[in-house]
Amino acid sequence: MLYWTAQNETKVPKLGFGTWLIKGPQCIKAVRTALEIGYRHIDTAQIYGNEAEVGEAISASDVDREKIFLVTKVWRDSLSSENILSSTEESLKKLKTDYVDLLLIHWPDPRFPLQETLSAMQSLVKRQKIKMIGVSNFPVELIEISKKIAPELICNQVEYHPFLDQRAILKAMGTHNMFMTAYSPLARNRVFKNKTLQKIGEKYSKTAGQVVLRWLIEQKNVVAIPKAAKQKHAQSNFDIFDFKLKEPDRLILGSMHSQNQRLVDPEWAPDWD
């Protein structure tokens, strides 16, 4: 496993397990299987409707809670100070844990002042309900504002894959000693259809998806959280620690962003530029 190390020496596994759209018994099985495979970074969110299942899977696992980096997110309608506190307490109960390692604002929402939201999250850190705070789907401008309010802000989770240019956010992550978590890292399976990625994969006896995940985690401040409901896909995503990409191949992947295919852009999304 590769890790991103925070200034407080916290180690974040650079490959995590995403749970979006995985619910019910399937979610319990998928998370338990992921932990058996070797994943130690589990990502969920209040809006996913599966925190209870994730919590059940972790509780039933042979892996100690302290060895799991657990992430959840506060939904955009719960960003008032009061709702941050109450919804996080509810998340902890569902997750069957006393704390989460990282709590994120799922989407920015101008109805709620960042000062109020981040201050509430800071209070949760002081109460040891959460270890670290971060955001998701924040453009650079909002990162700059947020860091002035909460200098300890550690993460921005955004869509990132070879077909989307995220160089501006990556630069901001480096400047502020933060890490980017890449969601939809396989571009909702579009990477498997790309002939260039297929050919690169053949050179390493790997799939296009494995090449992309390796490219992501080899980047200094990037963590990836592919989703996989089936065991064979979870295992395939995890089998990326036995090879390294050569520089020419990294450059090819890094040049594909000109396609600029943003796949997640709801009506409430911020101005990405």
At position 270, the amino acid (one-letter code) is P
- What is the assigned CATH class of domain 3-187+218-229? alpha beta
| Helix (H) / strand (E) containing 51 | helix 51-60
Cα distances from 92 to residues 37, 96, 232, in angstroms, run 25, 6, 30
Residues labelled catalytic = 48
186-243 per-position pLDDT tens digit: 999 999 999 999 999 999 999 999 999 999 999 999 999 999 999 999 999 999 999 9
Asked if 212 and 191 count as a contact pair (C-beta separation under 8 A), the reply is: yes
pLDDT single digits (tens) 81-120: 999 999 999 999 999 999 999 999 999 999 999 999 999 9
pLDDT tens-digit profile of 21-47? 999 999 999 999 999 999 999 999 999
Whether 21 and 227 have beta carbons less than 8 Å apart is answered as yes
What does the domain layout of the chain look like in residue ranges?
3-187+218-229
> How far apart, in Å, are the Cα atoms of 84 and each of 48, 62, 81, 273?
17, 31, 5, 28
Give the list of residues 6+ apart from residue 171 with CB closer than 8 angstroms, or none: none
Helices 114-126, 140-149: inter-axial angle, 10-degree rounding: 50
